[in-house]
């Protein structure tokens, strides 16, 4: 029992140590901005997401959106997202090395992107200890770790979308207020012009009757 308890404690500590290895950053895209991530092992799972936080504030319905192009160390395209304000991605790394994530903004207005990326690695029989007791433990720990990372990635994605929606609601409320004030000003101006026009008509009528 004592040995089992120690094993469970070790697994718990290892899981805690692996949590939080998601790279999260905010990128301001003017034209083309690139982010780099190094992948240690061929076949590792590269996953992540991005959200244009202030997309609905400045963009119209006809805006083409941002593009994301991911290239491998051999300069081959491994993932593409075209014309979107947010997306998720996941792919198997064809080789180890530096991967490039480039955002392209077709408009000159700077856009802020919330970007999250995680490189997942599950060990196999070639890169873990050969001890028959350690092999399944390491694999299970890696699988649990990746499951936790997937949940964390999804939470970050939903949080970024919530921020964007909150900004959109605030922007919409400001626009409604400005539109309402503009309507009242236009109505007041039209009423004033009508009063002026009617006064001119009466003044011309009075002058004509005097003649």
pLDDT tens digits along 67-92: 999 999 988 999 999 988 889 999 99
pLDDT at 97: 93
* pLDDT score of 7: 45
What's this model's pTM, rounded to 2 decimal places?
0.63
Task: Tell me the average pLDDT of the chain.
Answer: 75
Q: Which domains does the chain carry?
A: 25-168 (2.60.120.680)
SS (H, E, C) the chain: CHHHHHHHHHHHHHHHHHCCCCEEEEEEECCEEEEEEEECCCCCEEEEEEEECCHHHHCCCCCCCEEEEEECCCCCEEEEEEEECEEEEEEECCCCEEEEEEEECCCCCCEEEEEEEEEECCCCCCCCCCCCCHHHHHHHHHHHHHHHHHHHHHHHHHHHHHHHHHHHHHHHHHHHHHHHHHHHHHHHHHHHHHHHHHHHHHHHHHHHHHC
Model confidence band, residue 202 (pLDDT cutoffs 50, 70, 90): confident
Who has greater pLDDT, 7 or 102? 102
Reported as a single tens digit per residue, the pLDDT across 168-193 is 677 777 778 888 888 888 888 888 88
pLDDT in tens, 16-46: 344 336 677 777 788 889 999 999 988 899 9
């Amino acid at each position: 029992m004592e040995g089992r308890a120690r094993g469970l404690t070790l697994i718990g500590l290892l899981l805690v140590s692996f949590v939080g290895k998601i790279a999260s950053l905010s990128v301001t895209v003017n034209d083309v901005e690139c982010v780099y991530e190094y992948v240690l092992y061929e076949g590792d799972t590269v996953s992540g997401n991005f959200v244009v936080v202030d997309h609905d504030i400045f963009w119209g319905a006809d805006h083409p959106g941002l593009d994301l192009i991911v290239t491998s160390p051999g300069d081959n395209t491994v993932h593409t997202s075209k014309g979107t304000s947010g997306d998720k991605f996941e792919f198997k790394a064809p080789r180890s090395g530096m991967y490039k994530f480039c955002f392209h903004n077709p408009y000159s207005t700077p856009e802020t992107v919330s970007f999250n990326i995680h490189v997942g690695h599950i060990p196999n029989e070639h890169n873990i200890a050969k001890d028959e007791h350690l092999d399944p433990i390491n694999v299970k720990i890696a699988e649990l770790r990746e499951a936790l990372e997937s949940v964390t990635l999804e939470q970050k994605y939903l949080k970024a979308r919530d921020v964007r929606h909150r900004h959109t609601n605030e922007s919409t409320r400001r626009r409604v207020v400005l539109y309402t004030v503009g309507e009242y000003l236009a109505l007041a101006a039209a009423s004033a012009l009508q009063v002026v026009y009617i006064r001119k008509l009466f003044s011309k009528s009075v002058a004509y009757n005097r003649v």
